[in-house]
Amino acid sequence: MSSEAEIGYIQNYFHKIGVAAIALTQGDLSVGETIHIVGHTSNVTVTLDAMQIEHAAIQKAEKGQVVGIKVAEKVRNHDKVFKVTP
């Protein structure tokens, strides 16, 4: 059984390139981890294969940072982001 912990929210979504900017409000996030994005009309699960800060690839992000990730489906500003742990 997996559990989820809220780690941030969608600060911005760039629909032309399918990238979401996630503001981390608590905890950290690493490449390879799985996140769940939930909102009024959003319900997307993503396993992170890459993350960027200001167009530079990173492996790990911490509380207070804003990271960009590729998403396959549309998400919306202020959707909540949860880290999924097995």
Q: Which fold has domain 3-85?
A: Elongation Factor Tu (Ef-tu); domain 3 (2.40.30)
Reading the block at residue 33, the tokens are: 């981890």
Domain boundaries, the chain: 3-85
Per-residue pLDDT tens over the stretch 63-77: 999 999 999 999 999
43-67 average pLDDT score = 97
1-13 average pLDDT score = 94
Q: Measured between alpha carbons, how far is residue 28 from residues 17, 18, 40, 47, 61 in Å?
A: 24, 22, 25, 15, 6
pLDDT band at 2 (very low <50, low <70, confident <90, very high): confident
| pTM score of the predicted model | 0.94
pLDDT exceeds cutoff 80 at 1 = no
